[in-house]
Amino acid sequence: MDATPPLSPTERSTVRRGAKRARSDRRDLYAVLDAGLVGHLAVVLDGAPVVLPTGYGRHDDTLYLHGSTGAATLRAALAGAPVCFTVTHVDGVVYARSVFHHSMNYRCAVVHGLARPVTDPDEQLLGLRALTEQLAPGSWDTARLPDRKELAATAVLALDLAEASVKIRTGPPGDDERDLPAPGDPDPVWAGVLPITTVLGRPEPCPLLPAGTAVPARVSGRTPVPAG
Amino acid sequence: MDATPPLSPTERSTVRRGAKRARSDRRDLYAVLDAGLVGHLAVVLDGAPVVLPTGYGRHDDTLYLHGSTGAATLRAALAGAPVCFTVTHVDGVVYARSVFHHSMNYRCAVVHGLARPVTDPDEQLLGLRALTEQLAPGSWDTARLPDRKELAATAVLALDLAEASVKIRTGPPGDDERDLPAPGDPDPVWAGVLPITTVLGRPEPCPLLPAGTAVPARVSGRTPVPAG
């Protein structure tokens, strides 16, 4: 039995534009989500959409989000309003022979649903751990864990990965036949891909850290998850 | 007279959470937008939010978006529905002594408003030029420009930069006093920032390009806009 059932598209999670870029393998969804640090959470407030960047973490088929209990977007999601959460990686600029076919290489996951307020203390910790480890692997076991007051100030939301879509574009430009260079063209328009990668730099110690404190491997040895 | 009036917050563009990170200088808005390749556009469809990544371009105080005339999100925005458009740069992972104070360094611009369908042919070209140059500087003057059929298939939207907010976090963690290392602590928890940068790689020529075609400076010499 396959442990990762395919994504089953619903009406709104069906990719309509650029359908050939859609992926239906749930492992693609995991890969796109697991490679990110920030997603964009959209809610409806007073009839208008609001979209803000936010950290997240995944545990199996549940996505965890968190935020201050005072944040309006979080409060709307907590109240049972529908949400949409999107994680995007930009992998390259696609230069084509025509402006029309310029594009980007990217990986994008879109999750729709109703966020569930996490009230069980064990699940709250599980969610916060997933969030912390997504942002800073190893920190959950080394930093001070949240105390009662901090937990009370933190809303944790769970979003089932039930209704989701994944789109991935890779490869060279898809130019029209008419725009391709004629044989022997001495000055063809350059076309191709300019890759984009995310790079982690040299750790910058907190000024309040005693001089000479070693940078732990969980920080210095960290590498970004490679592009899918 | 100052050519760049400050951002005048409205009810929904007032930064409430982390207000000390809010910027009111319009030049910060320009800098965050101009440094990006992709933003996240949110609209409301059937009462639920949908947020998708999309390219954009800026001309003075107008943001241009585009997409296929067949895309549901674009159609909703074209029909006068409110939109929210957010551009986020993640600049670093902030490791704190407590899980609670873990954070990210980032620059984020959020624009609210009603998108205006661009119907004037001159403004449509102006918008598409801004979009193209944001993605691939120099391409507008070298690639084939859109023909009538391509223009008809492309919806261009204008969003005034009237209602917008900017949030920027920089610097080390903001730990509680109680979590700071005691003098002489032999094994303090590491805290600091792991910087994140976006890097452009080696251009990958289209396989259909004649061998030996030189990579133009507009591609090979391109550098990401440095962090604000």
**Tens digits of residue pLDDT in A167-218:** 999 999 999 999 999 988 889 999 999 999 999 999 999 999 998 899 999 9
CA dist A221 and B105 (Å) reads 20
Work out the minimum CA distance from A1 to partner chain B, whole angstroms.
33
Q: Residue-wise pLDDT tens for chain B (228 aa)?
A: 445 677 866 777 777 667 788 888 899 999 999 999 999 999 999 999 999 999 999 999 999 999 888 788 888 888 888 999 999 999 999 999 999 999 999 999 999 999 999 999 999 999 999 999 999 999 999 999 999 999 999 999 999 999 999 999 999 999 999 999 998 888 999 999 999 999 999 999 999 999 889 999 999 999 765 443
Question: What confidence score (pLDDT) does residue A78 get?
Answer: 81
pLDDT score for B174: 96
Give the nearest partner residue to B88 out of A53, A139, A199, using CB atoms.
Answer: A53
Q: Which residues of B touch A210 (CB under 8 A)?
A: 181, 185, 188
Determine the average pLDDT of the residues in A88-104.
Answer: 97
Q: pLDDT of A43-74, one tens digit each?
A: 999 999 999 999 999 999 999 999 888 788 88
Supply the pLDDT for residue B225.
53
Could you tell me the CA-to-CA distances from A28 to A21, A32, A62, A220, B29 in Å, in that order? 12, 6, 15, 28, 34
Residue A219 in this model has a pLDDT that exceeds 50 = yes
Identify the pLDDT of residue B160.
96
B113 close to B62: Cβ distance less than 8 angstroms? no
Q: Show the 3-state SS of chain A.
A: CCCCCCCCCCCCCCCCCCHHHEECCHHHHHHHHHCCCCEEEEEEECCEEEEEEECCEEECCEEEEEEECCCHHHHHHHCCCEEEEEEEEEEEEEECCECCCCEEEEEEEEEEEECEECCCHHHHHHHHHHHHHHHCCCCCCCCECCCHHHHHCEEEEEEECCEEEEEEECCCCCCCHHHCCCCCCCCCCCCEEEEEEEEECCCEECCCCCCCCCCCHHHHCCCCCCCC
How far apart, in Å, are the Cα atoms of B3 and each of B8, B60, B160, B164, B207? 15, 11, 16, 17, 47
Residue in A53, A195, A201 closest to B108 by CB: A53
Total CB pairs under 8 A between chain A and B: 307
Choose among A52, A139, A179: nearest Cβ to B102. A139
What confidence score (pLDDT) does residue A4 get?
67
Residues in chain A within 8 Å Cβ distance of B104: 37-38, 55, 135
- Closest by CA to B85, choosing from B32, B164, B24, is B164
Rounded CA separation A172/B25 (Å): 40
Closest to B224 (Cα-Cα) out of A36, A197, A204, A173: A197
Contacts of B203 in chain A (CB under 8 A): 192-195
Chain A CB contacts of B127 under 8 Å are none
Does residue B137 sit at the A interface (CB-CB below 8 Å)? Answer: no
Q: Return mean pLDDT, chain A.
A: 91
| Cβ of residue A80 closer than 8 Å to a chain B Cβ | no
State the CATH architecture for B19-175+191-220. Roll (2.30)
CB B189 within 8 A of CB B110: no
Measured between CB atoms, does B177 come within 8 Å of chain A? no
Quote the pLDDT of residue A79.
85
What are A6-32's pLDDT values in tens digits? 776 677 777 766 777 888 889 999 999
Closest Cα to residue B136, out of B55, B33, B60, B210? B55
Q: Which residue has the tokens 């009237």?
A: B162
Is the pLDDT reported for residue A115 higher than 70?
A: yes
Rounded Cα gap, residues A183 and B147, in angstroms: 24
A50 close contact with B: CB closer than 8 A = yes
Would the CA dihedral through B70, B30, A199, A36 be positive or negative?
negative
Nearest to A190 among B48, B181, B209 (CB): B209
User: What pLDDT, on a 0 to 100 scale, did the predictor assign at position B1?
Assistant: 42
Query: Residue ranges of the domains in chain A?
Result: 19-174+189-220
pLDDT attached to residue A165: 95
Superfamily of domain A19-174+189-220, CATH level 4: Electron Transport, Fmn-binding Protein; Chain A (2.30.110.10)
Tell me the nearest-neighbour CA distance from A5 into chain B, angstroms: 24
Mutation pick from A68, A100, A105, A106 vs chain B, by most beta carbons of B within 10 Å, is A100
**Considering only CB atoms, which chain B residues are within 8 Å of A48?**
12, 44, 82, 84, 112
Q: Which residues of A touch B219 (CB under 8 A)?
A: 95, 190, 192, 194
Q: Please indicate if any CB of chain A lies within 8 Å of the CB of B79.
A: no
